[in-house]
Amino acid sequence: MNIVRRKEILLDIIEIQGRIDGLTAPAIKQVFATAVNDGQRHLIIDFSGVSYMSSAGLRIIIETHKSLSLIGGELILLSVPATVADVFRISGIASLLNIFPDMASLRKHLNNAAEPETGTKEEFEGLQLEVLKMSVKTGHLFRYGSPDKFMDSSYSAADVYKADLEEIDFGAGLSVLGDEYDDFSNLFGESVVLHHHFFSYPAVKRPTVDYSYFSEESGHKSNFLHGFGMQGKFSALIHFEAADKRVTLSKLAAAAGHIASSNIFGIVILALSGGILGMHLKKSPILENQPDTKKILDPELFHEWMSYPLEEEGIHKTVVGTGIVVREPEKLDALWRKQFPKDSNIHFHAAIFKNGLWSNNINEFEKELERVITNFEVEKVVHLLPASVLVNGFIGIINLDCF
Protein backbone atom coordinates (compact mmCIF):
# COMPACT_ATOMS: atom_id res chain seq x y z
CA MET A 1 0.00 0.00 0.00
CA ASN A 2 1.24 3.49 -0.88
CA ILE A 3 -0.27 6.90 -0.09
CA VAL A 4 0.53 10.01 -2.13
CA ARG A 5 -0.61 13.56 -1.40
CA ARG A 6 -0.68 15.70 -4.52
CA LYS A 7 -2.04 19.05 -5.64
CA GLU A 8 -4.00 19.60 -8.86
CA ILE A 9 -4.79 23.27 -9.54
CA LEU A 10 -5.53 24.31 -5.94
CA LEU A 11 -7.04 20.92 -5.00
CA ASP A 12 -5.27 18.81 -2.38
CA ILE A 13 -5.78 15.14 -3.21
CA ILE A 14 -4.85 12.01 -1.27
CA GLU A 15 -4.19 9.08 -3.60
CA ILE A 16 -4.29 5.56 -2.16
CA GLN A 17 -2.53 2.78 -4.07
CA GLY A 18 -3.03 -0.88 -3.15
CA ARG A 19 -5.16 -2.59 -0.51
CA ILE A 20 -7.25 -0.93 2.20
CA ASP A 21 -7.57 -3.57 4.89
CA GLY A 22 -6.91 -4.20 8.57
CA LEU A 23 -3.16 -3.86 8.06
CA THR A 24 -3.20 -0.59 6.13
CA ALA A 25 -6.26 1.08 7.69
CA PRO A 26 -4.39 2.66 10.68
CA ALA A 27 -1.89 4.39 8.37
CA ILE A 28 -4.68 5.68 6.14
CA LYS A 29 -6.61 6.93 9.15
CA GLN A 30 -3.52 8.85 10.30
CA VAL A 31 -3.07 10.47 6.87
CA PHE A 32 -6.72 11.56 6.90
CA ALA A 33 -6.31 12.99 10.43
CA THR A 34 -3.15 14.88 9.44
CA ALA A 35 -4.89 16.44 6.44
CA VAL A 36 -7.83 17.57 8.58
CA ASN A 37 -5.49 18.90 11.28
CA ASP A 38 -3.77 20.92 8.55
CA GLY A 39 -7.10 22.64 7.94
CA GLN A 40 -8.63 20.63 5.10
CA ARG A 41 -12.39 20.35 5.40
CA HIS A 42 -13.09 19.00 1.87
CA LEU A 43 -11.07 15.78 1.85
CA ILE A 44 -10.58 14.38 -1.68
CA ILE A 45 -9.51 10.72 -1.86
CA ASP A 46 -8.39 9.27 -5.20
CA PHE A 47 -9.38 5.57 -5.27
CA SER A 48 -8.16 4.85 -8.82
CA GLY A 49 -5.22 2.79 -7.52
CA VAL A 50 -7.15 0.84 -4.85
CA SER A 51 -7.23 -2.89 -5.62
CA TYR A 52 -9.26 -4.10 -2.62
CA MET A 53 -11.13 -2.70 0.39
CA SER A 54 -12.31 -4.66 3.43
CA SER A 55 -14.73 -3.64 6.19
CA ALA A 56 -11.80 -2.10 8.07
CA GLY A 57 -11.43 0.46 5.30
CA LEU A 58 -15.18 0.97 5.10
CA ARG A 59 -15.23 1.89 8.77
CA ILE A 60 -12.64 4.64 8.27
CA ILE A 61 -14.62 6.06 5.36
CA ILE A 62 -17.82 6.15 7.42
CA GLU A 63 -16.11 7.71 10.48
CA THR A 64 -14.40 10.39 8.38
CA HIS A 65 -17.62 11.17 6.50
CA LYS A 66 -19.54 11.65 9.76
CA SER A 67 -16.80 13.80 11.34
CA LEU A 68 -16.53 16.15 8.36
CA SER A 69 -20.30 16.39 7.88
CA LEU A 70 -20.67 17.57 11.48
CA ILE A 71 -18.54 20.67 10.78
CA GLY A 72 -19.83 21.48 7.30
CA GLY A 73 -17.06 19.66 5.45
CA GLU A 74 -17.27 16.70 3.13
CA LEU A 75 -15.43 13.52 2.19
CA ILE A 76 -15.11 13.18 -1.60
CA LEU A 77 -14.23 9.86 -3.25
CA LEU A 78 -12.77 10.06 -6.75
CA SER A 79 -12.43 7.36 -9.46
CA VAL A 80 -13.70 4.45 -7.36
CA PRO A 81 -13.15 1.02 -9.06
CA ALA A 82 -16.21 -1.18 -9.60
CA THR A 83 -15.11 -3.77 -7.04
CA VAL A 84 -14.78 -1.12 -4.31
CA ALA A 85 -18.01 0.59 -5.38
CA ASP A 86 -19.74 -2.75 -4.79
CA VAL A 87 -18.55 -2.66 -1.16
CA PHE A 88 -20.19 0.75 -0.69
CA ARG A 89 -23.37 -0.41 -2.45
CA ILE A 90 -23.73 -3.67 -0.51
CA SER A 91 -23.10 -1.89 2.81
CA GLY A 92 -25.92 0.55 2.00
CA ILE A 93 -23.86 3.74 2.35
CA ALA A 94 -23.21 4.51 -1.31
CA SER A 95 -26.05 7.04 -1.39
CA LEU A 96 -24.55 8.90 1.58
CA LEU A 97 -21.13 9.40 0.01
CA ASN A 98 -19.91 11.97 -2.50
CA ILE A 99 -18.48 9.75 -5.26
CA PHE A 100 -17.29 11.18 -8.60
CA PRO A 101 -16.04 9.18 -11.60
CA ASP A 102 -13.42 11.70 -12.76
CA MET A 103 -11.85 15.12 -12.16
CA ALA A 104 -14.19 16.87 -14.59
CA SER A 105 -17.32 15.89 -12.66
CA LEU A 106 -15.62 16.70 -9.36
CA ARG A 107 -14.68 20.20 -10.51
CA LYS A 108 -18.23 20.82 -11.70
CA HIS A 109 -19.53 19.81 -8.26
CA LEU A 110 -17.04 22.05 -6.44
CA ASN A 111 -17.85 25.04 -8.66
CA ASN A 112 -21.58 24.62 -8.06
CA ALA A 113 -21.12 24.15 -4.32
CA ALA A 114 -18.64 26.98 -3.82
CA GLU A 115 -19.65 29.19 -0.91
CA PRO A 116 -19.81 32.94 -1.49
CA GLU A 117 -17.00 35.01 -0.05
CA THR A 118 -17.87 36.10 3.48
CA GLY A 119 -14.78 38.09 4.36
CA THR A 120 -12.04 40.06 2.69
CA LYS A 121 -8.66 38.52 1.94
CA GLU A 122 -5.78 40.33 3.61
CA GLU A 123 -2.10 39.67 4.23
CA PHE A 124 -0.08 40.51 7.33
CA GLU A 125 3.67 39.90 7.23
CA GLY A 126 3.20 36.92 4.90
CA LEU A 127 0.26 35.49 6.86
CA GLN A 128 -2.88 35.00 4.76
CA LEU A 129 -6.04 36.15 6.55
CA GLU A 130 -9.76 36.15 5.91
CA VAL A 131 -11.25 39.13 7.76
CA LEU A 132 -14.94 39.65 8.51
CA LYS A 133 -15.82 43.09 9.92
CA MET A 134 -18.69 43.09 12.45
CA SER A 135 -19.80 45.38 15.30
CA VAL A 136 -18.52 48.96 15.45
CA LYS A 137 -19.38 49.27 19.14
CA THR A 138 -16.61 49.39 21.73
CA GLY A 139 -16.74 46.89 24.59
CA HIS A 140 -15.73 47.35 28.23
CA LEU A 141 -12.72 45.98 30.10
CA PHE A 142 -12.76 45.56 33.89
CA ARG A 143 -10.09 44.78 36.49
CA TYR A 144 -10.72 42.27 39.26
CA GLY A 145 -8.53 42.46 42.34
CA SER A 146 -4.88 43.48 42.11
CA PRO A 147 -1.61 41.77 41.08
CA ASP A 148 0.35 43.70 43.74
CA LYS A 149 0.48 40.85 46.27
CA PHE A 150 1.35 38.12 43.79
CA MET A 151 5.16 38.22 44.02
CA ASP A 152 5.05 38.20 47.84
CA SER A 153 2.35 35.51 48.04
CA SER A 154 0.48 37.71 50.51
CA TYR A 155 -3.16 37.43 49.45
CA SER A 156 -5.81 36.87 52.14
CA ALA A 157 -9.59 36.51 52.25
CA ALA A 158 -9.91 40.29 52.20
CA ASP A 159 -8.32 40.41 48.72
CA VAL A 160 -10.84 38.12 47.01
CA TYR A 161 -13.13 39.70 44.42
CA LYS A 162 -16.31 37.74 43.66
CA ALA A 163 -17.24 38.17 40.00
CA ASP A 164 -20.59 37.22 38.49
CA LEU A 165 -19.91 35.02 35.44
CA GLU A 166 -23.03 36.36 33.75
CA GLU A 167 -21.28 39.74 33.48
CA ILE A 168 -18.07 38.34 31.90
CA ASP A 169 -18.16 37.47 28.22
CA PHE A 170 -14.47 36.60 28.26
CA GLY A 171 -11.83 36.96 30.95
CA ALA A 172 -8.73 35.55 32.64
CA GLY A 173 -6.79 35.66 35.85
CA LEU A 174 -6.02 33.78 39.07
CA SER A 175 -9.33 32.57 40.41
CA VAL A 176 -11.31 29.59 41.63
CA LEU A 177 -14.88 28.43 42.18
CA GLY A 178 -16.31 28.07 45.67
CA ASP A 179 -18.30 29.67 48.45
CA GLU A 180 -16.02 29.64 51.51
CA TYR A 181 -12.45 31.01 51.47
CA ASP A 182 -11.14 28.29 53.79
CA ASP A 183 -12.35 25.65 51.31
CA PHE A 184 -10.69 27.12 48.19
CA SER A 185 -7.79 29.27 49.42
CA ASN A 186 -5.16 26.70 48.37
CA LEU A 187 -6.70 26.18 44.92
CA PHE A 188 -6.15 29.55 43.24
CA GLY A 189 -4.60 29.00 39.80
CA GLU A 190 -4.75 30.01 36.17
CA SER A 191 -8.31 30.46 34.97
CA VAL A 192 -10.16 31.54 31.87
CA VAL A 193 -13.75 32.61 31.19
CA LEU A 194 -14.96 31.67 27.71
CA HIS A 195 -18.37 32.93 26.70
CA HIS A 196 -19.32 32.96 30.42
CA HIS A 197 -18.10 29.36 30.94
CA PHE A 198 -15.41 29.14 33.64
CA PHE A 199 -12.30 26.91 33.66
CA SER A 200 -9.57 26.87 36.34
CA TYR A 201 -6.42 24.85 36.98
CA PRO A 202 -5.88 24.45 40.74
CA ALA A 203 -2.37 25.09 42.03
CA VAL A 204 -1.85 21.61 43.52
CA LYS A 205 0.57 18.74 42.85
CA ARG A 206 -1.73 16.77 40.53
CA PRO A 207 -4.12 19.33 39.08
CA THR A 208 -7.18 18.61 37.00
CA VAL A 209 -9.34 21.29 35.44
CA ASP A 210 -12.36 22.46 37.40
CA TYR A 211 -15.09 24.10 35.37
CA SER A 212 -18.58 25.49 35.48
CA TYR A 213 -20.72 25.66 32.35
CA PHE A 214 -22.81 28.80 32.33
CA SER A 215 -26.57 28.98 32.43
CA GLU A 216 -28.73 31.92 33.39
CA GLU A 217 -30.12 29.94 36.31
CA SER A 218 -26.77 28.83 37.76
CA GLY A 219 -25.79 32.12 39.39
CA HIS A 220 -22.19 30.92 39.71
CA LYS A 221 -19.50 33.35 40.77
CA SER A 222 -15.73 33.10 40.52
CA ASN A 223 -13.30 34.24 43.19
CA PHE A 224 -10.51 36.39 41.72
CA LEU A 225 -7.25 37.35 43.36
CA HIS A 226 -6.59 39.37 40.23
CA GLY A 227 -7.59 39.34 36.61
CA PHE A 228 -9.75 41.02 33.99
CA GLY A 229 -13.09 40.57 32.29
CA MET A 230 -14.56 41.82 29.02
CA GLN A 231 -18.05 42.69 27.89
CA GLY A 232 -18.70 43.40 24.24
CA LYS A 233 -19.33 42.19 20.71
CA PHE A 234 -16.69 41.08 18.25
CA SER A 235 -15.63 43.99 16.05
CA ALA A 236 -13.98 41.61 13.60
CA LEU A 237 -13.23 37.94 13.03
CA ILE A 238 -10.07 36.56 11.45
CA HIS A 239 -9.57 33.11 9.95
CA PHE A 240 -5.91 32.18 9.49
CA GLU A 241 -3.94 29.28 8.11
CA ALA A 242 -0.18 29.25 8.61
CA ALA A 243 1.51 27.93 5.48
CA ASP A 244 4.80 27.41 7.34
CA LYS A 245 3.06 25.94 10.43
CA ARG A 246 5.08 28.26 12.69
CA VAL A 247 2.93 31.31 13.36
CA THR A 248 3.18 32.45 16.99
CA LEU A 249 0.64 33.90 19.37
CA SER A 250 2.70 37.10 19.28
CA LYS A 251 2.35 37.39 15.50
CA LEU A 252 -1.36 36.64 15.63
CA ALA A 253 -1.83 39.35 18.27
CA ALA A 254 0.04 41.77 15.99
CA ALA A 255 -2.21 40.77 13.08
CA ALA A 256 -5.25 41.42 15.26
CA GLY A 257 -3.76 44.80 16.20
CA HIS A 258 -3.61 45.61 12.50
CA ILE A 259 -7.41 45.20 12.40
CA ALA A 260 -8.42 46.55 15.85
CA SER A 261 -9.18 50.23 16.30
CA SER A 262 -8.60 50.68 20.05
CA ASN A 263 -5.25 50.88 21.84
CA ILE A 264 -6.15 48.01 24.16
CA PHE A 265 -8.30 45.23 22.72
CA GLY A 266 -9.41 41.72 23.53
CA ILE A 267 -8.75 38.62 21.48
CA VAL A 268 -10.49 35.24 21.59
CA ILE A 269 -8.73 32.39 19.80
CA LEU A 270 -9.94 28.97 18.66
CA ALA A 271 -7.01 27.22 16.99
CA LEU A 272 -5.00 24.07 16.46
CA SER A 273 -1.70 24.07 18.31
CA GLY A 274 1.67 23.56 16.71
CA GLY A 275 3.51 23.65 20.03
CA ILE A 276 2.39 25.19 23.33
CA LEU A 277 4.50 27.11 25.82
CA GLY A 278 2.28 27.59 28.86
CA MET A 279 2.93 28.35 32.53
CA HIS A 280 0.82 27.53 35.56
CA LEU A 281 1.17 27.88 39.32
CA LYS A 282 2.15 24.97 41.57
CA LYS A 283 1.14 26.78 44.78
CA SER A 284 -1.63 29.20 45.63
CA PRO A 285 -0.10 32.67 46.28
CA ILE A 286 -1.79 33.19 49.63
CA LEU A 287 -0.31 34.44 52.89
CA GLU A 288 -0.15 30.95 54.39
CA ASN A 289 2.26 29.87 51.60
CA GLN A 290 4.44 33.00 51.76
CA PRO A 291 8.21 32.35 51.53
CA ASP A 292 10.36 33.82 54.29
CA THR A 293 12.32 36.42 52.34
CA LYS A 294 12.39 35.97 48.57
CA LYS A 295 9.83 36.69 45.85
CA ILE A 296 8.07 33.60 44.50
CA LEU A 297 9.46 34.14 40.98
CA ASP A 298 13.07 34.63 42.12
CA PRO A 299 15.36 32.08 40.42
CA GLU A 300 15.82 30.06 43.64
CA LEU A 301 12.07 29.61 44.11
CA PHE A 302 10.78 29.73 40.55
CA HIS A 303 10.57 25.97 39.91
CA GLU A 304 9.01 25.42 43.33
CA TRP A 305 6.19 27.79 42.42
CA MET A 306 5.79 27.60 38.65
CA SER A 307 5.42 24.86 36.05
CA TYR A 308 7.31 26.19 33.06
CA PRO A 309 8.03 24.00 30.01
CA LEU A 310 11.50 24.14 28.51
CA GLU A 311 10.20 22.75 25.22
CA GLU A 312 6.99 23.07 23.25
CA GLU A 313 4.15 20.78 24.36
CA GLY A 314 0.68 19.82 23.20
CA ILE A 315 1.10 19.58 19.43
CA HIS A 316 -2.24 19.02 17.69
CA LYS A 317 -4.31 20.14 20.68
CA THR A 318 -7.32 22.43 20.43
CA VAL A 319 -6.55 25.79 22.03
CA VAL A 320 -9.39 28.07 23.17
CA GLY A 321 -8.32 31.16 25.01
CA THR A 322 -8.69 34.85 25.59
CA GLY A 323 -6.51 37.75 26.46
CA ILE A 324 -5.83 41.44 26.14
CA VAL A 325 -3.33 43.13 23.86
CA VAL A 326 -2.05 46.71 23.99
CA ARG A 327 -0.52 48.43 20.98
CA GLU A 328 1.03 51.41 22.81
CA PRO A 329 1.70 50.47 26.46
CA GLU A 330 3.00 53.94 27.30
CA LYS A 331 -0.53 55.30 26.83
CA LEU A 332 -1.97 53.08 29.59
CA ASP A 333 -2.23 54.23 33.18
CA ALA A 334 -0.10 52.48 35.78
CA LEU A 335 -2.88 50.23 37.06
CA TRP A 336 -3.61 48.81 33.60
CA ARG A 337 0.07 48.33 32.79
CA LYS A 338 0.22 45.96 35.77
CA GLN A 339 -2.15 43.63 33.92
CA PHE A 340 0.62 42.77 31.45
CA PRO A 341 3.73 40.69 32.15
CA LYS A 342 7.00 42.61 32.16
CA ASP A 343 8.25 43.45 28.64
CA SER A 344 5.12 42.01 27.01
CA ASN A 345 2.05 43.58 25.40
CA ILE A 346 -0.03 40.37 25.69
CA HIS A 347 -1.75 38.74 28.66
CA PHE A 348 -3.42 35.54 27.47
CA HIS A 349 -4.87 32.46 29.18
CA ALA A 350 -6.01 29.36 27.33
CA ALA A 351 -7.87 26.14 27.99
CA ILE A 352 -6.18 23.23 26.22
CA PHE A 353 -8.58 20.61 24.90
CA LYS A 354 -8.08 17.23 23.29
CA ASN A 355 -8.14 17.71 19.57
CA GLY A 356 -11.32 17.58 17.57
CA LEU A 357 -12.82 19.11 14.44
CA TRP A 358 -14.50 22.44 13.94
CA SER A 359 -15.78 24.28 10.90
CA ASN A 360 -13.46 26.58 8.93
CA ASN A 361 -16.44 28.76 7.93
CA ILE A 362 -15.88 32.17 9.48
CA ASN A 363 -19.64 32.69 9.82
CA GLU A 364 -19.79 29.63 12.09
CA PHE A 365 -17.12 30.84 14.53
CA GLU A 366 -19.30 31.74 17.51
CA LYS A 367 -21.42 28.59 17.19
CA GLU A 368 -18.32 26.41 16.86
CA LEU A 369 -16.66 28.20 19.79
CA GLU A 370 -19.60 27.27 22.03
CA ARG A 371 -19.64 23.69 20.74
CA VAL A 372 -15.92 23.16 21.35
CA ILE A 373 -16.03 24.69 24.84
CA THR A 374 -18.93 22.53 25.99
CA ASN A 375 -18.24 19.28 24.09
CA PHE A 376 -14.47 18.80 23.89
CA GLU A 377 -12.49 17.28 26.78
CA VAL A 378 -10.40 19.91 28.57
CA GLU A 379 -6.91 18.96 29.83
CA LYS A 380 -5.39 22.07 31.43
CA VAL A 381 -5.50 25.86 31.70
CA VAL A 382 -2.30 27.85 31.22
CA HIS A 383 -0.90 31.32 30.91
CA LEU A 384 -0.01 31.03 27.22
CA LEU A 385 3.34 32.55 26.30
CA PRO A 386 3.71 34.72 23.15
CA ALA A 387 6.10 32.21 21.52
CA SER A 388 3.42 29.47 21.46
CA VAL A 389 2.76 28.19 17.94
CA LEU A 390 -0.70 27.95 16.38
CA VAL A 391 -1.39 26.35 13.00
CA ASN A 392 -4.87 27.37 11.87
CA GLY A 393 -8.04 28.74 13.38
CA PHE A 394 -9.90 31.90 14.31
CA ILE A 395 -9.31 35.15 16.17
CA GLY A 396 -12.18 37.25 17.48
CA ILE A 397 -11.37 40.91 18.21
CA ILE A 398 -13.17 43.11 20.76
CA ASN A 399 -12.30 46.82 20.84
CA LEU A 400 -12.21 47.95 24.45
CA ASP A 401 -12.48 50.90 26.82
CA CYS A 402 -10.78 50.45 30.21
CA PHE A 403 -12.74 50.83 33.46
pTM of the model: 0.84
* pLDDT tens digits, 101-139: 988 888 888 777 655 557 899 999 989 899 999 988 899
| Band (245; pLDDT cuts 50, 70, 90) | low
> Could you give the residue range(s) of every CATH 3.30.750.24 domain in the chain?
2-113
Per DSSP, what are the bridge partners of residue 247?
390
* Pairs from 370-378 (Cβ < 8 Å, separation ≥ 24): 370/195, 372/270, 372/318, 372/320, 373/194, 373/195, 373/197, 373/320, 374/197, 374/213, 376/318, 377/353, 378/199, 378/209, 378/211, 378/351, 378/352, 378/353
CATH-assigned architecture of domain 2-113: 2-Layer Sandwich (3.30)
> Could you give the residue range(s) of every CATH 3.30.1330.80 domain in the chain?
122-402
Q: Considering the chain, what is the average pLDDT of its residues?
A: 91
CATH-assigned architecture of domain 122-402: 2-Layer Sandwich (3.30)
Q: What is the model's pLDDT at position 314? A: 86
Going 336 to 340 to 341 to 343, the CA torsion angle's sign is negative
Range with lowest mean pLDDT among 39-48, 50-59, 228-237: 39-48
Report the percentage of the chain scoring pLDDT > 90. 68
Q: How far apart are CA 64 and CA 183, in angstroms?
A: 46
* pLDDT tens digits, 148-181: 999 999 999 999 999 999 999 999 999 999 999 9
